[in-house]
Structure 1
Amino acid sequence: MKELYIKQKVFSLSGKFTVKDQQGNDVYFVEGSFMRVPKTFSIHNNTGSEVALITKKVFSFLPKFMVEVDGREVLTIKKEFSFFKARYTIDAAGIEVNGNWWDMNFEVYQHGEVVGKVSKEWFTWGDSYKVQVWNEEMETIILALVIAIDCVKADQAAASSVVSN
């Protein structure tokens, strides 16, 4: 099993942060597009190669985020139409998310087998997540999934604050 730690900076406008391993070494670098359309988050490994890309679809009635890993689309997170509470679905071939993914406490399954677990770290400055990966072939997909869900949550929070003002 491999453990990764994601810690986002609270006051970072550019959306840059690193993903660390158990020893505190930087293993992935994440960079968001600031003030660009479409909004994207690019994930690079420690050699600088892009391993995943998260893109918010621009011309969509309801918010939709696509996740590409190694150049192929692996999952989509989209908002469903509802009157009272925001509901999102995750569409991915062979991948399921069970648990409370909105609160960042969930397990990731591939074809019924647990391949990873995500938990939010409490009492930290900014959003911090512990990502446990049992199947290392799924490492990039699980990492991209966590960052995409966090991006959806931030987008929802921004939309809510605009509506409430």
Structure 2
Amino acid sequence: MRELYIKQKVFSLSGKFTVKDGEEKDRYYVEGSFMKVPKTFSILNASRDEVALITKKVFSFLPKFYVEVNGQDVVTIKKEFSFLKARYTIDAAGIEVRGNWWDMNFQVLQHGQVVGEVDKKWFSWGDSYRVQVLDEAMETIVIALVIAIDCVKADESSSSSSVSFD
């Protein structure tokens, strides 16, 4: 089992942050595209090779995010049409998310087996998450999924804050 920590920088316009291990060493680098269409987040390993890419689909009626790991589409997160509360679904072959992923407290399962657990750290400056990876072969997918969910949440909060009622 490996514990990783994601702490985003508050007020970071570029969307750059790192994923650290328990010894505070950088394991992954995340770089968001700033002022670029489509909006993307690249996840790089310690050697700075891209291992995952998160892309927000443009020109879509409802927001949709695609997650690629090692060049393969593995996860799609899409907003469902709803009048009252934002509702999203996660589509991934053999991968399931159980728990409250909107509050960043959930488990990631592959074919019914828990491969990762995520919990949000409270009382910290900015968003901070602890990610426990139980199956190291799934590490990149779990990290990409956590970052993609965080992107969805950030997108939702920015779109709801830009709505004004005159």
Normalised by the shorter chain, which TM-score bucket? Answer: over 0.9
Any stretches of 5+ residues in structure 2 without a counterpart? none
RMSD: 0.6
Q: Deviations over 1:1-46 (max 9, x none)?
A: 0000000000110000000000000010000000000000000001
Q: Deviations over 1:106-130 (max 9, x none)?
A: 0000000000000000100000000
SS at match of 2:52: strand
User: Where do 4+ consecutive residues of structure 1 move more than 2 Å?
Assistant: none
Could you tell me which residue of structure 2 aligns to residue 131 of structure 1?
131
Q: TM-score, normalised by structure 2?
A: 0.98
Matched, 1:158 2:158: yes
Deviation at 1:164, TM superposition (A): 3.6
Q: Deviations over 1:54-110 (max 9, x none)?
A: 000002110000000000000000000001000000000000000000000000000
Could you tell me which residue of structure 2 aligns to residue 112 of structure 1?
112
Number of residue pairs aligned between Structure 1 and Structure 2: 165
1:20-31 equivalence runs, <5 A? 20-31=20-31
Aligned-partner residue type, residue 21 of structure 1: D
Q: TM-score, normalised by structure 1?
A: 0.99
Alpha-carbon separation, structure 2, partners of 1:148 and 1:84: 23
Alpha-carbon separation, structure 1, partners of 2:15 and 2:126: 12
Could you tell me which residue of structure 1 aligns to residue 10 of structure 2?
10
Could you tell me which residue of structure 2 aligns to residue 39 of structure 1?
39
Could you tell me which residue of structure 1 aligns to residue 64 of structure 2?
64
